Structure 1
Amino acid sequence: MSPHENIFEKACLVQMSTSMWQGTRALDPAVMQQVNNNSTWLKGRKFLINPELLGPIKTAVHRARKEAIVAHTLPFPITGLYLVPKDSIESIESKMAFFRDRFWEKVNEFESIYDDARQEARQILGDLFDSEEYPDNIQEKFKFNWKFITITMPGKSMILSPEIYEREKEKFISMVEEAREMGIRALHQELSENVEYLMTRLSGTNGKVKILKSAMFNRMNKFLEDINTKNIFDDQRLQELAHQARKVLDNTDSVSIKYNENLRNHLHDQMAQLKTAIDESIENIPFRRIRMPDQDSAMDYPVAMSI
């Protein structure tokens, strides 16, 4: 089995899809002409309701993407898809179920005030109010879904000609190679950001030392705990850098550094050296976009199925 096939024994893909009523509409060109005769140069939109009423729903979507998807996955070359380490599937499923329920809870709350929101809009918009722009069934305008997907290298068959088979095989290999480079780079950058965060906390800003709390190490510790799960490409340099970070933290007394400036400075210097090493490693990671002429959409990759 090639390493390109093996990666999808360690991981799958996840796709999150949501939609919601935006509550805005383009203004009629005739209205814009009252502002400027050349309406082709001037476009405008109107809110159909108070936009703050949709805020809690948007927040649920944002948190789901950030906390359930991005936090547990690696980037992938196809827009809208994320690479999921096998051991993260259950965590993602559980968190997405939580945010789905949260999403619909907020949709139901919005639905309960929808009629009042329309009446408020009628009063505020005046002649610009148009009842036809408001859905009768507002629930139908909201969706929250996700699915796990597997992709495998196309196998030889009687259906594909040898030329098409070789082309699809090459596309698959290129896609996995790009995913590998994107994933490794993302993990190195995340480690660099965590180190930089600690350096900022230790040095303060504008000459003012920030209040140091034990919790400031939580972010780095969480990353180091997850590294074995996320490092599905077995990047040895990442493991070495993570080991150095663990060693520094293991030798750090989070209580003592609050009161000892020398210890803070020493820890800051260690973190600075580590960050230099991480940034050098990032520079050595290939950065390229591998694209075949017809490799512009997810549909170009055969043998994909939902789990």
Structure 2
Amino acid sequence: MTATLEEPANQTRSPAANRLRTTMAAARLSFNWLGVRKSLNAHQKNQAADSFGAEGKFLSAGKKLLDTSHPVYRNVTAIRGRAVSYWKGVSLPYPEPGMRLIRQDSITAFDHQIAVFRDELDDAVVELDRHYDELRTAARRRLGDLFDASDYPASLIGLFGIEHDFPSVEPPSYLQQLNPAVYEQECQRVQARFDEAVRLAEAAFTEELAKLVEHLSDRLSGEADGKPKVFRDSAIENLTEFFQRFRQLNVGSSEQLDELVSRAQQVVRGVEPQQLRDSQTLRQQVSTQLAGVQSTLDGLLVDRPRRNIQRRPR
């Protein structure tokens, strides 16, 4: 008689969570980055403490090795910022540190774009290295006796990097044969993770839409010194980008959120920023319609204690 192992139900109970699980992949982005701050050694801390009449062991102090405000260094950090923004913009949150979920059909594009950022970073680090002697000389002047040449590597090449991978979040198949009970526990754990991922995604979309609508409403209805507030194109452009991202990443977990996004999109559809500057009537019309959307969003945020969403005070 041949014994067969019954496969545990590894599908999530939530249809939205199941869609996430079958159409998304985990993507992890990490950085290798030269540290530019270093703690003072015991002798240096004691010297610093003496100037305040304090004991060195109760003092925490450090030094900044390089001027991070220098344009060439800022170019390097700007690339890291753009890489993180891109990663977050094409993905949904996942309840594992350092991981987010991207669409499986976007993996190739994601892989290509991160490679572009990596090449840009390599070029920026080469330029930074050309100014390295200048930065070290400035550090020697600013740090005085705290300067220590051994804190500085010979070159900055290879000390900054972007890495990415696509880790599996599913239970390993071999575990099913080795220990069915543990495999079942892992299946349940993954189910809970994707259920939580749905809640995180819905919360993130709701909060972002609320902030964008609130900002646009404030620009349209508020006044400064008796005049309409300054209205920038980005107030409309950011909403348009949100609608596009929502359409690409929405998992259909909330009909109410879908309806609110649709209402907000209808309010600003076809409206150009310059039209809002030129027409007070149009400003008032859009502002009034957005107020209704904002009111519903505020209620949606307040009424979700289990999702732990809190509005920041103005």
TM-score bucket (shorter structure): 0.7 to 0.9
Counterpart residue number, 2:66: 49
**Distance in 1 (alpha carbons) for counterparts of 2:68 and 2:159:** 16
- The 2-side partners of 1:281 and 1:258 are apart by 31
Q: CA deviation at 1:274?
A: 0.4
Unpaired stretches in structure 2, ≥5 consecutive residues: 1-10, 309-314
Write the distance in 1 (CA, Å) between the matches of 2:245 and 2:142.
Answer: 51
Q: Secondary structure at the match of 2:164?
A: strand
Distance 1:26 1:264 in 2: 54
The partner residue of 1:168 within 177, 186, 192 is 186
The residue aligned with 1:188 is 206
Between the two proteins, the alignment pairs up a number of residues equal to 287
- After superposition, the C-alpha distances for 1:145-180 in whole angstroms (9 at most, x for unaligned) are 112234225557221242x12321221111111111
Residue among 126, 138, 142 paired with 2:156: 138
Aligned equivalents of 1:260, 1:95: Cα separation in 2 = 41
CA distance in 1, matches of 2:42, 2:227: 54
Q: Which residue matches 2:269?
A: 250
**Counterpart residue identity of residue 264, structure 1:** R
Consecutive unaligned residues in structure 1, runs of 5 or more:
290-307
Tell me the distance in 2 between the aligned counterparts of 1:234 and 1:90: 26
Q: 1:61 aligns with which of 70, 80, 83?
A: 80
1:86 aligns with 2:99: no
Which one-letter code corresponds to 1:249 in the other structure? V
Report the TM-score, using the length of structure 2 for normalisation: 0.81
Cα 1:257–1:55 shift into 2, 3 Å? closer
Q: Give the structure 2 partner of residue 24 of structure 1.
A: 37
Residue 289 of structure 2 aligns with an amino acid whose one-letter code is Q
> In structure 1, what is the Cα distance between the partners aligned to 2:269 and 2:27?
35
Distance 1:273 1:120 in 2: 56
2:246 to 227, 234, 241: 227
- Structure 1 residues 87 and 117: alpha-carbon distance in aligned structure 2, compared to 1, 3 A threshold: same
Q: What amino acid is aligned across from residue 265 of structure 2 in structure 1? A: R
- Residue matched to 1:9: 22
- Larger CA deviation: 104-113 vs 199-208: 199-208
Provide the rounded CA distance (Å) in 1 between the counterparts of 2:185 and 2:129. 50
Q: Percent identity among equivalent residues?
A: 25
CA–CA separation in structure 1 for the residues paired with 2:128 and 2:274: 47
1:91-110 matched pairs, under 5 angstroms: 91-110=109-128
Is the partner of 1:84 in helix, strand or coil? strand
SS of equivalent to 2:176? coil
| Change over 3 Å in CA distance of 1:246–1:51 after alignment to 2 | closer
Query: Which of 32-41 and 68-77 deviates more?
Result: 32-41
Q: Does the alignment pair 1:266 with 2:279? A: no
Structure 1 distance, partners of 2:48, 2:233, is: 58
RMSD: 2.6
Question: In structure 1, what is the Cα distance between the partners aligned to 2:234 and 2:146?
Answer: 52
Q: Normalising to structure 1: TM-score of the pair?
A: 0.82
